[in-house]
A = this chain, B = another copy of it.
Amino acid sequence: MKVSDLAQQLGGELIGDGDVQVHGVSPVDAVKPGHVTLAENEQFFAKAEASDAAAIVVSLPVDQSRKPLIRVRKTTLALAKMLAIFHPAQKPEPGVHPTAFVGAGVDLGGGVHIGPNAVVRDGATIGDRVVIHSGTVVGSDGFGYALDGATRVKIPQVGTVVIEDDVEIGANVAIDRSTLGATVIKRGTKIDNLVQIAHNVVIGENTVVCGLVGISGSVTIGDNVTLAGQVGMADHVTIGSNATIGAQSGVTKDLEGGKYYLGSPAVPIGLASRQYAVWANLPELSRRVRELEKQLEELKRRSTQSR
């Protein structure tokens, strides 16, 4: 493929010789000869220039190089496109893997991929182009019990799960069906590995849920939300659209959309940053309080003497 053709497919600006041939894409620290690579900052650009790369994709304001450049707005999007161009046998392929188990009455959309040893329990609804990776369980029983004296009586979990179009779910995830009604993961949402999603949860569109996140029962999450790794959420809380929750945060109450939150309990990032700044110097703060106490004692003593 000619660099000029690649530039066109990426919607990027060609700078330099468009007739150079490229036949693959490599990361900047392991470039194969004849491959195109990406440089998202000055340091990587220097590496790319010194490498065997046939061409360089940049988002930097550089306009000359020993190698042909393709200037794009976002290198990550360009990477996604180039990987699809140079590795056309895209995976995961549609189909239910023979080792997966899909229960009775499951409504499977078109182009769905269900990976090895994944499980979709009875009655779940899986939209078009949904990808469910290996070992993931969709529609497991919700965790609900009522105390009858000292004994825990199971609350039958008779609801279902709805996974909308273009959702991708990582490996070894667990998504419970609801007690009544449906647990819902809306269109375009992406879920990483080892995530726990409890019964009656509703997650909006194009939301990102990172690894080891725990979402308790009846939580409602908006669109375009990002939950970073190991976030935990108390039951029944609501998170507005376009919110971002930092890693290891604990969400204990409703959070307004459009903001960045951090901490356990999670608070707006401005407050959290100031909390963590004090935390970093907490021993010093304690020492200063001791010093204040000493000086105040001294001052009181002198003040009494001088009277």
Contact B282 A293 (CB under 8 A): no
- With an 8 A cutoff between CB atoms, is A158 at the interface? yes
Take A115-B119, A134-B140 as given contacts and tell me if A174 and B194 are in contact as well, using a CB distance cutoff of 8 Å: yes
Chain B residues near A196: list those with CB within 8 A: 192-194, 211-212, 229
Which of A101, A131, A168 has the largest number of chain B CB atoms within 10 A?
A101
- With an 8 A cutoff between CB atoms, is A125 at the interface? no
Q: Select A141's contact among B26, B91, B212, B280, beta carbons within 8 Å.
A: B91
Chain B residues near A87: list those with CB within 8 A: 156, 158
Contact A206 B117 (CB under 8 A): no
**A residues 1-31 in Cβ contact with B at 8 Å:** 25-27, 30
Q: Select A97's contact among B76, B101, B194, B293, beta carbons within 8 Å.
A: B101
Contact B292 A282 (CB under 8 A): no
Contact A141 B155 (CB under 8 A): no
Copy number in the complex reads 3
**A residues 109-136 in Cβ contact with B at 8 Å:** 115-117, 119, 121-122, 131, 133-136
Closest to A133 in B: B140
Contact A300 B295 (CB under 8 A): yes
Chain B residues near A198: list those with CB within 8 A: 192-193, 211
Q: How far is the CA of A300 from the CA of B122 in the complex (A)?
A: 75
Chain B residues near A193: list those with CB within 8 A: 137, 140, 143, 174, 176, 196, 198
- With an 8 A cutoff between CB atoms, is A221 at the interface? no
**What are 11 of the A-B contact pairs (CB < 8 Å)?**
A27-B179, A77-B147, A91-B141, A92-B141, A99-B101, A133-B137, A143-B193, A145-B190, A274-B283, A275-B280, A278-B282
Query: Which residues of A line the B interface, CB within 8 A?
Result: 25-27, 30, 74, 76-77, 79-81, 83-84, 87, 90-92, 97, 99, 101, 103, 115-117, 119, 121-122, 131, 133-137, 140-141, 143-148, 150-158, 168, 170-174, 176, 179-181, 188, 190, 192-194, 196, 198, 206, 208, 210-212, 214, 216, 224, 229-230, 232, 234, 247-248, 250, 264-265, 267, 271, 274-280, 282-283, 285-286, 288-289, 292-293, 295-296, 299-300, 302-303, 306-307
